[in-house]
Amino acid sequence: MAQVRNKQVVLSNYVSGFPKESDMEIVDSTITLKLPEGSNGVLLKNLYLSCDPYMRTLMNEDSTLGLGRLTLGSPMMGYGVARVVESGNPDYKKGDLVWGITKWEEYSLVSAPQFFKIQHTDVPLSYYTGILGMPGMTAYTGFFEVGSAKKGENVFVSAASGAVGQLVGQFAKLNGCYVVGSAGSKEKVELLKEKFGYDEGFNYKEEPDLDAALKRYFPEGIDIYFENVGGKTLDAVLPNMKLHGRIPVCGMISQYNLTQHEGVANLANLIFKRVRMEGFVVSDFYHLYPKFLEFVLPHIREGKVVYVEDIAEGLENGPAALVGLFSGRNVGKQVLVVARD
């Protein structure tokens, strides 16, 4: 069996502080497109890869957050959409389209496959890295399950135009809520209001006083703060929470690259306002995926929920796409195309 080229994006340096493109390297490897004899695995052709902020933590030398770590010289790992080229596993067959954890390379050999099978192909396949994949499930479970969203509530979302945030805003509107988002540029704030139906939006980089901005948009306070960024934003939100408010803690991207994490001064508001602040990890909710698809697919087909993607073409552009998440370069869900079929 002939070998074929297998271009990869590998980790070349452990990262401390902000990641750089040069912490990753493009390598021309090769692969034999045949499973080892007796393998229970699958051979995948990777199509679309997802750039996600949590991938930064895999680049640490230690793995204190418990998400694991990569070894130097090994391909980057993350969510992706792939086609099964060969299968030794009864749950998958050649030609199946799947999404789940794969590697940043053209072809991947996965010895213990645990993928979601893609059943609906009338929507763009790349959506399974975003709205129909991990970020979509994150927005849905974070808002409805962890946030216990109720009709008509006041909702604030940070990193509001990103892969997760753009959906939280739309789900909040479908739920009859008043929703305000913060984002890092004028263009993104316009997207919030024009495209995702946010009632209001503001550029947090241009607000000298975040507390004053929140008081302006929420004179009666916030019921749900969908936390994506942490740091100063969280501190400003806490005194503006309403009695019995909820803070689903989805992410804290402002802290991921700091060697010294920022403190939070206003935590005592949790007590007097009886606020529930709860961290969550989306994979704990994957049993709800069929229910989520039932909810979201009709909305996509009817155009009632939209999804903005930022598409980077080719593995060569993977490092820049991933690093760009931490300066807000991406507008919408950052996708990396390896191959279109």
The site for ligand NAP (CB under 6 A) is made up of 52-54, 135, 138, 159, 161-165, 183-185, 188, 228-229, 250-254, 280-282, 325-326, 328, 330, 333-334
Other C-beta atoms lying within 10 Å of the C-beta of residue 250: 29
What is the C-alpha separation between 276 and 248, in angstroms, rounded? 8
Residue 84 CB, shortest distance to ligand NAP, in Å, is: 25
Q: How near is the Cβ of 290 to ligand NAP at its closest, in Å?
A: 19
Of the pair 75, 251, the CB lying nearest ligand NAP is at: 251
Encoded tokens for 25: 């390297």
| Smallest separation (angstroms) from ligand NAP to the CB of 341 | 25
Task: Enter the tokens of residue 214.
Answer: 């929140």
3-state DSSP assignment of residue 187: helix
| Token code pair at residue 289 | 């995926």
Closest residue to ligand NAP, based on beta-carbon distance: 162
CB-based contact 335:130 (threshold 8 Å): yes
Beta carbon nearer to ligand NAP, 58 or 85? 58
Cβ distance to ligand NAP smaller for residue 102 or 138: 138
* Cβ closest to ligand NAP, residue 109 vs residue 322: 322
Nearer to ligand NAP, 4 or 67 (CB): 67
Q: Nearer to ligand NAP by C-beta: 17 or 38? A: 17
The C-alpha atoms of residue 154 and residue 114 are separated, in whole angstroms, by 38
Nearest distance in Å: CB 129, ligand NAP: 10
Encoding tokens for residue 263?
Answer: 């403190």
CB 285 to ligand NAP: min, Å: 9
Q: How far is the CB of 89 from ligand NAP (least distance, A)?
A: 26
Instruction: Tell me the Ramachandran region of residue 83: left when phi exceeds 0, alpha when psi lies from -120 to 50, beta otherwise.
Output: beta
Q: What angle separates helix 165-174 from helix 186-194, to the nearest 10 degrees? A: 30
Minimum CB distance to ligand NAP, residue 236 (Å):
12
Helix ranges (DSSP H) in 250-341: 269-272, 289-301, 318-324
Q: Measured at the alpha carbon of residue 332, what is the angle toward residues 331 and 333, in degrees to the nearest 5?
A: 125
Contact call for residues 278 and 146 (beta carbons, < 8 A): yes
**Is 6 or 254 the residue whose CB approaches ligand NAP more closely?**
254
Three-state secondary-structure class, residue 13? coil
**Dist CA 63 CA 276 (whole Å):** 28
